[in-house]
């Protein structure tokens, strides 16, 4: 009888060479990255030093504040990450949160808390909201109203007032876009609350979907009204966008935690306070690594550099006479839709005759020069 019990676990033995199919995948991805300027994924942070952690399980099971029975976790690091983002987004005492599977889960969690606290609420989101917002409202059984947008992609506050007034007797749950998917427009939380006040809405919950723009706006001197100190009840970001983590993840921070936290699950030893239950500990480690690499001043400097590349892109488009525009402080540059061959090569999404370039950290002026050459040709 063959025994599979050995004195040393195969998990920690020397790793074999990567199979050819995965080498081909790596080649395809690294090649595509050179002309991938249409989607938000920063490329300036090296996460390969964390490679040895791929040999172990990191399951941050249940509530991040309780370690639980299962020892293969990184909840201590997750708590440090949450403390950082709670301070960055000016959370009051009593805040809660966790590392999510991405921006979609963060928004779903915020809307879930809103529905829990306001069970008779109507949900409002703008026509420029991320597609996951409507999906989360549907999964939660929330009546959903789509609000018009201004020309720059920002929510139309007058239309929000009109739409909310139709449901004056019911609470409102509003998802604010802090950097829309296409134009990186930012909804003003003060104006959202004013619109709800004018509509006679007394009870409300506002979630800030800040997937890409939340962190760079938080380190901007003349910051807009978008975080927990400005009237958000919850805020979520994506880790794989501004930080470029190779594992899709995110963070959600809530003004106050669940009103009646559940008891610890006997099997796990931790309360089940998240949507996903089992959660990536590696995502928390990657976010912590990014913050360690950048340091206190790094967030501001790479934000400044990315905006400088966006401004450079606008100047280049101006020089060749190509129609374009850009929202204030945005990494995103809107440009009149290029020919199909250019869009395909540079991975540019399009909507209503417009495309965009997203100058996330790591995108260089050399890439922009190559793109402009293609476009001008």
pLDDT per residue as tens digits for the range 324-361? 999 999 999 999 999 999 999 999 999 999 999 999 99
pLDDT at 9: 45
- The residue assigned the tokens 């905006």 is 307
- The residue assigned the tokens 């912590």 is 288
- What CATH number has the domain bearing residue 362? 3.90.1150.10
**Residue 3 pLDDT > 80, yes or no?**
no
pLDDT in tens, 258-276: 877 788 888 898 989 999 9
**Residue 57 pLDDT > 80, yes or no?**
yes
Backbone angles phi, psi at 161, to 5 degrees: -60, -45
| Number of domains the chain is built from | 2
The answer on 344 and 317 residing in a single domain is yes
The answer on 180 and 153 residing in a single domain is yes
The answer on 321 and 283 residing in a single domain is no
**Residue 71 pLDDT > 80, yes or no?**
yes
Domain assignment present for 5: no
The answer on 350 and 285 residing in a single domain is no
- Share the mean pLDDT of the chain: 94
The answer on 368 and 313 residing in a single domain is yes
- In this structure, are residues 113 and 275 in contact, taking their beta carbons and an 8 Å threshold? no
Domain boundary among 239, 258, 292: 292
Mean pLDDT of 250-263: 88
The answer on 332 and 194 residing in a single domain is no
pLDDT at 265: 87
Question: 176: domain range?
Answer: 53-292
**Residue 5 pLDDT > 80, yes or no?**
no
- What CATH number has the domain bearing residue 79? 3.40.640.10
Indicate the range of 13-22, 118-127, 169-178, 185-194 predicted with least confidence: 13-22
The answer on 322 and 174 residing in a single domain is no
Domain boundary among 292, 327, 355: 292
pTM of the model: 0.94
The answer on 264 and 351 residing in a single domain is no
Domain assignment present for 28: no
**Residue 6 pLDDT > 50, yes or no?**
no
The answer on 257 and 181 residing in a single domain is yes
pLDDT: which is higher, 101 or 7: 101
Q: Give the CA distances from residue 134 to residues 46, 139, 142, 144, 331, in Å, rounded to whole numbers and listed in that order.
A: 34, 9, 9, 7, 25
Q: Is 155 exposed, middle or buried (0-12, 13-18, 19+ CB in 10 A)?
A: buried
Domain assignment present for 21: no
**Residue 8 pLDDT > 70, yes or no?**
no
pLDDT at 108: 98
Domain assignment present for 247: yes
Domain assignment present for 41: yes
Domain boundary among 265, 292, 319: 292
The answer on 212 and 311 residing in a single domain is no
User: Which of these, 170, 171, 105, lies nearest to 133 by C-alpha position?
Assistant: 105
**Residue 127 pLDDT > 70, yes or no?**
yes
- Any idea of the CA torsion for 63, 117, 101, 210, to the nearest 10 degrees? -120
Distance of CA 243 to the CA centre of its chain: 10
Domain assignment present for 267: yes
pLDDT: which is higher, 284 or 256: 284
Beta-bridged to residue 174, according to DSSP, are 124, 206
- The residue assigned the tokens 């993840």 is 249
**Residue 291 pLDDT > 70, yes or no?**
yes
- The b-or-e profile of 344-361 (16+ CB within 10 A means b, else e) is eebebeeeeebbbbbbbb
Domain assignment present for 17: no
Domain assignment present for 20: no
- Report d(CA 285, CA 81) in Å as an integer: 9
- Report d(CA 164, CA 168) in Å as an integer: 6
- Report d(CA 307, CA 313) in Å as an integer: 10
The answer on 172 and 117 residing in a single domain is yes
Helix, strand and coil percent figures for the chain, each rounded to 5: 40, 15, 45
The answer on 322 and 256 residing in a single domain is no
pLDDT at 260: 77
Helix (H, G, I), strand (E, B) or coil at 72: coil
Backbone angles phi, psi at 30, to 5 degrees: -70, -35
């Amino acid at each position: 009888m063959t025994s599979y019990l050995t004195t040393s676990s195969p998990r920690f033995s020397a790793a074999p060479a990567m199979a050819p199919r995965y080498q081909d995948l790596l080649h395809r991805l690294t090649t595509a990255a050179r002309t991938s300027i249409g989607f938000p994924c920063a490329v300036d942070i090296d996460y390969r030093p964390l490679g040895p952690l791929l040999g172990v399980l990191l399951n941050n099971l249940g509530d991040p504040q309780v370690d639980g029975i299962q020892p293969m976790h990184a909840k201590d690091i997750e708590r440090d990450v949450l403390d950082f983002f709670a301070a960055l987004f000016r959370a009051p005492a009593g805040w809660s949160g966790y590392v999510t599977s991405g921006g979609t889960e963060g928004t779903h969690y915020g809307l879930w808390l809103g529905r829990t606290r306001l069970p008779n609420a109507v949900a409002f989101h703008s026509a420029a909201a991320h597609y996951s917002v409507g999906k989360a409202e549907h999964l939660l059984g929330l009546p959903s109203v789509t609000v018009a947008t201004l020309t720059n992609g920002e929510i139309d506050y007058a239309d929000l007032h009109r739409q909310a007034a139709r449901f004056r007797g019911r609470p409102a749950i509003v998802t604010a876009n802090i950097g829309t998917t296409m134009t990186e427009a930012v909804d003003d939380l003060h104006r959202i609350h004013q619109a709800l006040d004018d509509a006679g809405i007394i009870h409300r919950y506002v979630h800030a979907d800040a997937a890409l723009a939340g962190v760079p706006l938080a380190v901007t001197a003349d910051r807009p009204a978008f975080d927990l100190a400005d009237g958000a009840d919850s805020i979520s970001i994506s880790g794989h966008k501004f930080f470029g983590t190779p594992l899709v993840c995110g963070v959600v921070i809530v003004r106050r935690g669940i009103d009646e936290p559940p008891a610890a699950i006997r099997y796990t030893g931790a309360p089940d306070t998240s949507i996903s239950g089992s959660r990536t500990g590696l995502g928390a480690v990657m976010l912590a690594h990014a913050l360690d690499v950048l340091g206190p001043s790094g967030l501001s400097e790479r934000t400044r550099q990315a905006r400088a590349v966006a401004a450079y892109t606008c100047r280049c488009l101006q020089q060749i006479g190509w129609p374009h525009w850009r929202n204030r402080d945005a990494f995103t540059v809107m440009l009149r839709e290029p020919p199909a061959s250019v869009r395909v090569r540079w991975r540019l999404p399009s909507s209503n005759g417009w495309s965009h370039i997203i100058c996330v950290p790591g995108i260089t002026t050399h890439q922009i020069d190559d793109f402009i050459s293609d476009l001008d040709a």
